[in-house]
Chains A and B, each alone.
Chain A
Amino acid sequence: MAKGILVFAEVKDGKVKNVAFEMLSAGRKIAGQTGDELAAVLIGKGVAGLAGSLAEYGADKIYVAEDDKLAQYTTDAYSKVLADLIKETDPATVLFGCTVLGRDLAAKTAQKVKAGLLSDCIAMEIEGGNLVFTRPVYSGKALLKAGIPESSPAMATIRPNVLTAEPGAGKGEVVNYAVKLDAGDLRQVIKDVILQISSRPELTEANVIVSGGRGMKGPEGFKVLEDLADVLGGAVGASRAAVDAGWIGQNLQVGQTGKVVSPTLYFACGISGAIQHMAGMSSSKCIVAINKDEEAAIFRVADYGIVGDLFEVVPILTEEIKKVVGK
């Protein structure tokens, strides 16, 4: 009988991603109700030192799978290790962050162990003794509640920033997991990695996002948004109109064909609020719209709206926020 929760702890730049702590905190509550064990797994090279941080967020057991062949992420290698671990330890539930890497790994691993997988979940809770997940469907226009009753394990990817990370001590037992990888398992060869250096957080995990649209008028326009983002330690995003105009990188597009984000605070500046844009940001906790057209659809989802010229409003707002946050 499958038992317990296993959280895949994604590591980026030598640190565990926050979404792993968010999943552990939620998992801790569920484990508290069911008496299940809460485990986490670290995969990579030189990652063992991160086990302590997982215990601080509630992990009872931390599997550490280290190998030279795991120094760089490949789906082939990571999914093999994870599928082996799942087969050996038989968890009832396996959770991943819904990140580029998490999605890729979860789908491959799910098919390896013939498990059901719910993607991009925004909540999980025990209902009638079963773990039930909530996920948006149809670009967030409807929500779906589902469970994965018979398959073992039930798998899900959880959207970053929707659950709250809270420290909560777990037993923190570290188990070194012996990796079994053959050359035949590894068909993907990484030839090169090109990273854009940015001091700002990743869009899907940022707490604050300042987005601009066609109203930015050109690439230079984004400077005022960057200043605001930097005061709040946030990321800069964009509508498709701004991306298509070539003013900003495609990786920063928010929306149906861009990234889906759920920050605490989302600023939409010079963005009209097309349905395809809203599909990517309407689950933000607090939305601010700045637009010179008072009829703009974005005001309908905004918690706070200012009708005005963004080039006038945003720089003043940046100064006012500096005062408020004491910078």
Chain B
Amino acid sequence: MNIAVLLKQTFDTEAKIEIAGGAINKKGVGLIVNPYDEYAVEEALKLKEKNGGEVTIISVGADTPDAMRQALAMGADKAISVEDPALEGGDEYTTAVVLAKAVSTIPYDLILAGWREGSAQVAVRVAEELGLPHINVVTKLDVDGGKATATRDIEGGNEIVEVPVPAVITAQKGLNEPRYPSMKGIMQAKKKPIQKLSLGDLGLSADQVAAKVKVQSYFLPSAKAAGKMIAGEAPQAAAELARLLREEANAI
């Protein structure tokens, strides 16, 4: 079973965000593998261990050698990195169209990606671009007999969904426990190939992938006024808090 994993790096959450010249200052900001993508890599490796085949890591538009090496050290076989100056300023549409083309350069039975509270557009868009079904927010996955069966989070519970493969699956926390790369894995990863492609290599022009979203400005949230510390023993403090929530904050 050949599996493509969509992988990206994101800012380290601890990173301090600064705005310079109307854009986010990316200098000196630590990058980490998107935590959800680690679940996707782990699941791909498990399926490979069971069924054979190859795991290919695919990344678009971001400078991701570290993330790719980490996935290769975990056990993925090879990586494809699409980089092109024309991707600067790209949005989820851009990323998805390019990813779909990049995935199409390899044989695949399954595409795994991360799911993130917030945006979560890219993987679903890739599925649509390739004409594939998808299952989002997955915490359990079985692939067998041309079908993928997954348990996914829905509001207030879970549902079990089945789709024919190839399909796109997005990983949610709980799917598995990502392994740590072994020393041997780290050594081997150095020799594994990372193929670099440009838009032209994929037969795409800058126009075809132009962003739909036009960013106007970045700004920092306004600093919050200092809060009130309520002193006193528990009974007085609790009574005072209840009063403030009602009379001052209008919150209850």
Residues of A within 8 A of B (CB): 12, 74-76, 79, 99-101, 103-104, 106-108, 110-112, 114-120, 127, 132, 136-151, 187-196, 198, 202, 208, 232, 250-251, 256-260, 264-265, 275-276, 279-280, 282, 285-289, 294, 299, 301-309, 312-313, 316-317, 319-321, 323-325
Closest A residue to B126 by beta carbon equals A111
B160 touches A324 (CB 8 A): no
Chain B residues with Cβ below 8 Å from A193 are 154, 157-160
* A259 vs B173: C-alpha distance when bound (angstroms): 12
B242 touches A320 (CB 8 A): yes
* A100 vs B119: C-alpha distance when bound (angstroms): 11
- Of the candidates A108, A232, A259, the one whose C-beta lies within 8 Å of that of B124 is A108
Chain A residues with Cβ below 8 Å from B77 are none
With an 8 A cutoff between CB atoms, is B241 at the interface? yes
Q: Report if A145-B158 is in contact (Cβ < 8 Å); known contacts: A259-B117, A260-B117, A324-B246.
A: no
For chain B, the bracket of interface size reads 35 or more
Whole-angstrom distance between the Cβ of A284 and the nearest chain B Cβ:
10
Q: Report if A108-B119 is in contact (Cβ < 8 Å); known contacts: A100-B154, A257-B173.
A: no
Identify 13 residue pairs between A and B in the complex whose beta-carbon atoms are under 8 Å apart, listed by A's number: A115-B212, A141-B221, A146-B215, A148-B212, A189-B163, A192-B159, A198-B156, A265-B245, A304-B227, A306-B229, A306-B234, A306-B238, A317-B238
With an 8 A cutoff between CB atoms, is B128 at the interface? yes
* A260 vs B119: C-alpha distance when bound (angstroms): 11
A312 touches B234 (CB 8 A): yes
The 5 A-B residue pairs with the shortest CB-CB distance, nearest first, are A116-B212, A107-B124, A320-B242, A111-B128, A195-B157
Q: Mark B217-230, 1 if CB is under 8 A from A, else 0.
A: 11111001001111
Closest B residue to A264 by beta carbon equals B251
* A307 vs B155: C-alpha distance when bound (angstroms): 35
* A68 vs B224: C-alpha distance when bound (angstroms): 50
Chain A residues with Cβ below 8 Å from B230 are 304-306
With an 8 A cutoff between CB atoms, is B137 at the interface? yes
Closest B residue to A120 by beta carbon equals B118
B218 touches A143 (CB 8 A): yes
- Of the candidates A12, A103, A256, A299, the one whose C-beta lies within 8 Å of that of B227 is A299
Whole-angstrom distance between the Cβ of A2 and the nearest chain B Cβ:
13
Whole-angstrom distance between the Cβ of B122 and the nearest chain A Cβ:
8
With an 8 A cutoff between CB atoms, is B109 at the interface? no
B11 touches A138 (CB 8 A): yes
Whole-angstrom distance between the Cβ of A199 and the nearest chain B Cβ:
11
Chain B residues with Cβ below 8 Å from A289 are 227
Chain B residues with Cβ below 8 Å from A104 are 120, 124, 136-137
* A2 vs B238: C-alpha distance when bound (angstroms): 55
* A286 vs B242: C-alpha distance when bound (angstroms): 13
* A312 vs B236: C-alpha distance when bound (angstroms): 12
With an 8 A cutoff between CB atoms, is B243 at the interface? yes
B229 touches A307 (CB 8 A): yes
With an 8 A cutoff between CB atoms, is B28 at the interface? no
